[in-house]
Structure 1
Amino acid sequence: MEEHSNKRPLLLSTSEDHQQVSVSEHELVSLVQRTWTEVKKIWKVAGPSIFSRLSLYSLAVITQSFAGHLNDTDLAAISIATTVITSITFGFLGQLKTSVIGWVSGLALVIHLLLNWFFAKYYTIGVVGAAIMLDFSWWVSVLGLFLYAVCGGCRESWYGFSMEAFSGLWDFFKLSAASSVMLALESFYYRVLVIVAGSLGNTAVDIDALSICITSYGWEIMIPYGFLAATGVRVANELGAGNAKGAIFATKISLLISILIGTMFAIVILAFPDKLAMIFTSNNTVINMVNELSVLLAVTVLLSCIQPVFTGVALGCGWQSQVAIVNLGSYYVVGVPLGVILEQFFGLGIKGLWTGMLSGTVVQTLTLAIITIRCQWDKQAKEAYSRVVKQAISDQSSCDT
């Protein structure tokens, strides 16, 4: 009887256990709700930005694919031209009401598709004609945005032409110049591969295959650039509200989404490299070369889904100048010279050039990650909140007078 009375059940249910379970469940539900709310906020900015960037970039992709099926020389020529133009353009692309940019760029894309189809079917216009159509489609998007802005589409920010446009111009120029240089250095980096490879005497097949890979990379990177914009907005909003934890949480969610998307595209590239190449060419030699470069392309895509989020954090915190210096050092002091050394002195060819430049991305990503991790978020939030309050007081004083 005594032994029986000393026995206890293996699982003992107590009020404390129930409380701990309910607290854990509540925290889990709260985390899921916070995550879902943050995901919606990020996509509200990232979605239109991604659509507009993809639409505009696809103008060059369509032109390049059209030229590639004419002959290999035209593919190389148009690739170098569009590589330089698009990288500079997207480096300076602004944040003007991205949902509107999506509609205008989508219209430009449709017009460009119809023009290419019509002239490819009924006329032999060649690579010069394809370039002219690309120019025309770009101007459609530019004029469309201009007309939208000046005809009442931006009522909260556009009040017509006046001398007030020059007030605070120097401060605006300093901030926008640093931001543009930062993004231009980043956007132009892998396009340098095509230019350097051509100047080092690589074959036309190498140039064609490399240009296909870089164009595909540029196509995919428009998605992380959307998260760059979204991260910048979310971090700036949370810091302006004095919410350091909110800024950190937004960064984590944006980084997670971007990595998941990058992983998906990397898997697609590894699984179907030949299908990717066939968009631009019918030359089996070029297609085989793209297959050989697919691993490097997949790794580049995956890495390039991480660093734009950190760049977005820099935008939100106002670190544009510092990140421009990081980009310059990582890309053009480390990446390009190392790539040239591997290509010229180690005989690794295009793969060596690309591997060296990929190391620049690794250095840049690690540097920005360290800067972000070591950021004093509470201090940043207090300073941002203080600036918002001062600006609000200043605006109120101006209205009263």
Structure 2
Amino acid sequence: MEDRLLGTEAKDEGSLLGKVWAESKKIWRVTFPAMLAGVTTYGVFVVTQAFVGHISDTELAAYALIQIIGLRFANGIILGMSSATETLCGQAFGAEQYHMLGIYLQRSWIINLVTATILVPVFVYSSSIFKLLGIEDEVAEATGYIALWFIPIIYYYVFFFTIQMFLQSQLKNAIIGWLCTISFAIHVLLSWLFVYVLDWGIPGAMSALIISSWLGVIGEFVYMFGGWCESTWTGFTWAAFANLWPVIKLSMSSGIMLCLELWYTSVLVLLAGYMTNATAAISAFSICLNISGWELTICLGFLNGASVRVSNELGRGNAEAAMFAIKVILGTSISIGVVFWILCLVFGRQIAYTFTSEEDVAEEVSSLSVLLAFSILLNSVQPVLSGK
């Protein structure tokens, strides 16, 4: 009887459904931490936009301009330059040169701190910059004020991205996901407290953003300095200042490439500033782009899963298993994309009221809901295949 049961179990594991289930468990083990970190990190900015949008439509448009254009520009440069840390730390970890991970991390801090400081004038003079670009004076002035609140976020990027890549290269993904989730929960609570309860307006919304973001970085520092990376973090060293030029060249090439990739959608928000009802158009475009970008972070988690699973199976010389993994990941990603596609088509107008109380903005978002839905659907395909 026992032999018969074992035979049935083996048969089930050999079935297509059993193979899909087994592969799905492997995929989610890799993708979930990355997905959790991406969704919550991006979600902090989306939640801030929702709270700002209920203050006034001018502030919503101003926040959209600096977040979608200015901050994404800085984000692209710093994230791209930080990707050199991921490459170098990954190579050092694979070669068992564990002490070099801490040195590479410190070198990236030096380079990125200088880069962030160079970017600060863009935010200080953003009001004048947007006026020169033809944006309405009222919106440009509000943008200049909100931009100043984003300066601490630029320096937050310096540490958050680099430490995240330092930990990922050691396969310490789970801690990143949990820290980001805790920061997101704190952000929602602080935003509600500062904006709705204390009625602090823009300073309240932006203070909540800064505090919750930096709490995540502090958590990374505690984890790193607290002994959980004892072989890879051996303390600060003057060796970090040596051989900076090769790292700078690698960082610059990565930064320029990623910045151009992130900026092509940001141009839509800038062009919206030239439309008849510029304030509503900017707000509507930014809402749609942030929703699409937020959903994209889920699909980018599947990209990580595709990269890991394909490289693992190809490393074992099993090309058939690698192709099967891609099919399972693609099917899962598209299934989730279809769900969001339907939600956008059905609740296109209702989604807008999460971010604004203005009827003209809600009407603009509703008119873009079909394009948003298909953009989200395509998001579920492109990252997985590019990860292959």
Q: What is the CA distance between 1:38 and its match in structure 2?
A: 1.4
The 3 A distance-change label for structure 1 pair 246 and 166 is farther
Q: Does 1:76 pair with 2:61?
A: yes
Give the CA deviation at 1:238: 2.0
Which of residues 246, 256, 259 in structure 1 aligns to 2:334?
A: 259
Count of residue pairs the alignment pairs up: 289
CA distance in 1: counterparts of 2:49 and 2:345, whole angstroms: 22
Q: CA 1:301–1:99 in 2, change beyond 3 Å: closer, same or farther?
A: same
Residue identity matched to 1:43:
W
The Cα shift of 1:124 comes to: 2.9
Q: Structure 1 residue 275 and structure 2 residue 260: aligned?
A: no
CA distance in 2, matches of 1:211, 1:277: 11
Please list, as runs of the form range in 1=range in 2, the aligned pairs for 1:2-401 lying within 5 A after superposition.
Answer: 29-84=14-69, 85=71, 89=75, 92=80, 93=161, 94-95=164-165, 96=168, 97-155=172-230, 157-162=232-237, 183-198=258-273, 203-313=278-388
Tell me the alpha carbon deviations over residues 151-183 of structure 1, each in whole angstroms, 9 at most, x when there is no partner: 222356434445777899888777776666555
Q: How far 1:279 sits from its partner (Å)?
A: 0.5
The letter for the 2-side match of 1:50 is M
Q: Confirm or deny: 8 A CA contact 1:227 1:309 kept in the other structure.
A: yes
Q: Is the 8 A contact 2:13 2:19 kept in 1?
A: no
The 1:27/1:241 distance shift into structure 2, 3 A limit, reads same
Cα 1:199–1:133, aligned 2, differ >3 Å: closer, same or farther?
Answer: farther
**1:129 shift after superposition:** 3.6
The structure number with the bigger radius of gyration is: 1
Q: Is the 8 A contact 2:191 2:204 kept in 1?
A: no
Q: For residues 201-223 of structure 1, give each alpha carbon's deviation from its aligned partner in whole angstroms, at most 9, with x where no partner exists.
A: 66211111111111111111110
| Distance in 1 separating the partners of 2:256 and 2:269 | 21
Q: Which amino acid aligns with 1:49?
A: A
CA contact (8 A) 2:53 2:356 kept: yes
In structure 2, C-alpha distance between the alignment counterparts of 1:229 and 1:265, rounded to whole Å:
21
Equivalent residue for 1:352? Answer: none
Q: Distance in 2 between matches of 1:222 and 1:171?
A: 31
1:123 is displaced (CA, Å) by 2.7
Shift of 1:269: 0.4
How far apart are 1:34 and its partner, in Å? 2.3
Rounded to whole Å, the distance in 1 between the matches of 2:233 and 2:300 is 26
Q: Is contact 2:195-2:205 (8 Å) kept?
A: no
Maintained 8 Å contact 2:337/2:376? yes
Q: 1:132 to 1:27 in 2, by over 3 A?
A: closer
Change in CA separation of 1:199 and 1:246 when aligned onto 2, cut-off 3 Å: farther
CA deviation string 1:282-331 (max 9, x = no partner): 11221122111100001100111111112222xxxxxxxxxxxxxxxxxx
* Cα distance between partner residues in 2 of 1:159 and 1:251: 39
CA contact (8 A) 2:349 2:365 kept: yes
Deviation (angstroms), 1:246:
2.4
The residue type paired with residue 228 of structure 2 is G
Aligned-pair CA distance for 1:70:
0.7
Q: TM-score, normalised by structure 1?
A: 0.64
Larger relative contact order (C-alpha < 8 A, sep ≥ 6)? 2
Q: Which TM-score applies when normalising by structure 2?
A: 0.66
Aligned to 1:385: none
Report the secondary structure of 2:206's partner residue: helix
Q: Distance in 1 between matches of 2:332 and 2:253?
A: 27
Report the Cα offset of residue 235 of structure 1: 1.8
Runs (5+) with no aligned partner, structure 1: 1-24, 314-401
* Letter paired with 1:279: T
1:254 deviates by 1.2
Once the 2 structures are TM-superposed, how far is the Cα of residue 88 of structure 1 from its aligned partner? 5.3
Deviation at 1:199, TM superposition (A): 5.1
Percentage of identical aligned residues: 41
Distance 2:275 2:46 in 1: 25
Deviations 1:68-90 (A, max 9, x none): 00110000111222224257548
- Aligned residue for 2:216, secondary structure, equals helix
Give the partner amino acid of 1:261.
I
The amino acid across from 1:268 in the alignment is L
Q: CA deviation at 1:261?
A: 0.7
Q: Is the Cα–Cα contact under 8 Å of residues 65 and 279 in structure 1 kept in the other structure?
A: yes
Alpha carbons 1:42, 1:230 under 8 Å: kept: yes
1:394 equivalent in structure 2: none
Contact 1:78/1:131, CA 8 A, preserved across alignment: no
> In structure 2, how many angstroms separate the alpha carbons of the residues matched to 1:236 and 1:166?
34
